[in-house]
Structure 1
Amino acid sequence: MHANLLLRLTRRLFPGRNPLATYGDRLEGAVLALGVVAALGMVPVAAAVGSEVYAAQGARVQVEQQSRHQVDAVLVEDAPSLGGAADSEAVIETTEAVASWLLPDGTVRRGAVRAPFGAEAGTSVRVWIDRSGQVTAPPATVQGAAFTAITSALVLWGVVLGAIALLFCLVRFAHMKIRLRWWHLEWELTAREWTGR
């Protein structure tokens, strides 16, 4: 099966040896050949873009890892119960509740944190805070940076492949329309000759 697919691809890339090949077939072959070359040429480009993204994300990881840390926040009021939550909140399984936490300089900060539904006042929850003492998202990780870099490279390569495929499909569609039109005209001429006889 793979051998047949490779043979068909080779014939489409190099239709010149076929005596029945038309200019449209040669154009399709040229577009396909350029597409293969472009797809292969985009591999190092996509890898370079992924490397740049990883470097940028790595710098972000380093900054966030150094500027964010976890503290224990104590709820100062009961968290809402699950019964009064909307369906979308119930899926998340946590809700907002007011809590207080201690900063490294001894200052007490108070604000909204994520806590389990129905958690009672006095419950301790772990939260991430930034240098200003505000609750923030967890710091980025090396694994996340690598995932973002790989995804960026694959998306770029996929966009190029999609553009190449679209160009080839447009050329093939136009070629088929022209070919069918010529066949129709030739059939009309042939039919008249047969009818004349």
Structure 2
Amino acid sequence: MSVSSRPDGRRNHPLSRPVDVLERRVRIGIVTVAVLGVPLAGAAAGGAAYEHDRAVAEAQRDQWRRTAAVVVSEVTPGMSRGDLAGDGKAGTAQVRWTAPDGRPATGVAPVPPDADPGDRTHIWVDRQGRVATAPLNDTGVWAGSLAVGVLGAATAAVAGVAAVAGVHCLCEHRRDRAWEREWDAVEPEWSRRPHQGG
């Protein structure tokens, strides 16, 4: 069985149908778009996350201040919600500090895990003098941007795979329908019974 040449120099299998050629071309198009689009999607998502987190970090640094405090209770070990910019080893404890208006204030804040009652430490407070999380640092901003960028690229890749699978399913359905029509046409001759049109 010979293989015919197409005008573009590529070779067609003699049993290729128009739907096969269409599926191949669409797949090539999707793969091309994915090869270009996946990195762009990752870069765009990561860049947007970086700009957002950098603005948040700047706002936090403008609005919050680091202040001295005294530990007044035993430390509860484990990472606290306020340890976003730390090393993950902070605990929490009741601490006492002086509010911006000069009054004494107390609250639960992240502290070093080896702190004892009476030890001095530093905490972050907002403009109202309430305990705040540590501002995002550069490492946190970059880590968040990288995570979002990878997620954006992965989402684009999954979308590309889903598009290829969807095209294949549609083309497979068309091939099945074509085979059914052709079988309806030739089956009566093979079985020697009258054709039942439909």
Query: Which residue number corresponds to residue 150 of structure 1?
Result: 146
Runs of 4+, deviation exceeding 4 Å: 75-80, 92-98, 103-106, 114-117, 119-126
Aligned ranges for residues 86-125 of structure 1 at < 5 Å? Answer: 98-103=94-99, 106-113=102-109, 122=118
Give the total of aligned pairs.
175
Query: Secondary structure of the equivalent of 1:160?
Result: helix
TM-score, normalised relative to structure 2: 0.64
Q: For residue 30 of structure 1, what is the aligned residue in structure 2?
A: 25
Deviates more, 1:133-142 or 1:70-79: 70-79
Residue 133 of structure 2 corresponds to 137
In 2: Cα distance, 1:51 partner to 1:160 partner: 16
Percent sequence identity is 24
Q: Which amino acid in structure 1 is aligned with residue 182 of structure 2?
A: E
Gaps of 5+ in 2: 1-8, 77-87, 194-198
Residue 18 of structure 1: how far off its partner (Å): 2.6
CA RMSD of aligned residues (A): 3.9
AA partner of residue 112 (structure 1): V
- Contact 2:64/2:127, CA 8 A, preserved across alignment: yes
Runs (5+) with no aligned partner, structure 1: 1-13, 81-91
- The 2-side partners of 1:151 and 1:39 are apart by 20
Higher helix content, 1 or 2: 1
1:21 and 2:16 correspond: yes
Give the Å deviation of 1:196: 1.9
Equivalent residue runs for 1:57-96 within 5 Å? 57-76=53-72
Describe the SS at the equivalent of 1:21: coil
Distance of aligned partners of 1:163 and 1:47 in 2 relative to their CA distance in 1, 3 Å threshold: same
**Is this contact kept in 1: 2:41–2:156, CA < 8 A?**
no
Deviations 1:63-82 (A, max 9, x none): 434543444433556678xx
Does the aligned pair in 1 maintain the 2:99–2:105 contact within 8 Å? yes
Cα gap change, 1:159 to 1:137, in 2 (>3 Å):
same
More divergent stretch after superposition (127-136 vs 61-70)? 61-70
1:33-84 superposed Cα distances (whole Å, 9 cap, x missing partner): 221232233233542442343233223323434543444433556678xxxx
